Amino acid sequence: MALIKLNDVDVSLPEKQVSDFVDSSSIPEVNLNSERGVDYSKLCDILTHKKWREADIETAKLMLKIANRENRKKLNVNSINNLPCTDLRTINQLWVKYSNGKFGFSAQKEIWENLPAQTFFLTYEKFGDRLGWHSIIGWTNYDNLDI
C-alpha cells in the first residue's frame, strides 16, 4: 500500500463499503495463468475454504517465487515493478472471486485511492473500516472476518 500514491478526492462521492461488493457466484471462473510457470491451485483451494490467514501466507510465498526472491524473503521496489501482469491478475482474480470482491489488489486499490488524504495511520484505519477489518473495538482477527 505504501507504493500506491494517494489522489485528491471529492469527499462528496459515496463511500464504497463492504456491502457494495458482489457475490462470488457472479464472478467467472479464474484461469490460473502464469508467465513464470507458478501453480496457483493451492492458493485457489485455500481461498475456496476461506482460510484467509493461510491464503495471505501462500500469496506472499507465491509473490516471492514469481519475483525469484524466495531466498531473500522479501520484495524490493525493483522486483515489485517487474512482477508479471499475468500473475498479478491471476492472484487478484482469485482473491476477488473467493472474498466476494472484498479482497484483491483491485478492490483494495480502489478503496485506498478514494479515501481522503490524511495521515497514513488515519487513512489506514479508514481503509480497514471500509473493508470490515477494523472497527471501534480494534482490528479484526482473520478468523472473524465476515465474508
Integer Cα distance of 98 and 29 in angstroms = 10
For residue 75, is pLDDT > 70? Answer: yes
Give Cα separations from 71 to 57, 64, 68 (angstroms). 16, 9, 8
Cα 10 from chain centre: 24
Give Cα separations from 119 to 7, 81, 122, 123 (angstroms). 13, 25, 5, 6
Buried b (16+ CB within 10 A) or exposed e, 67-88: bebeeeeebeeebeeebeeebb
Reference 79, options 71, 96, 113, 41; nearest CA is: 71
Greatest Cα-to-Cα distance within the chain, rounded to the nearest angstrom: 47
pTM above 0.95, yes or no: no
Q: What pLDDT shows up at residue 147?
A: 61
Integer Cα distance of 122 and 137 in angstroms = 15
10-14, 24-28, 54-58, 103-107: least confidently modelled range: 10-14
> Which cell numbers in the block locate residue 25?
457466484
Chain segment 104-140, per-residue pLDDT in tens: 988 888 888 888 877 777 887 888 877 777 677 777 7
Integer Cα distance of 133 and 142 in angstroms = 8
Integer Cα distance of 8 and 122 in angstroms = 16
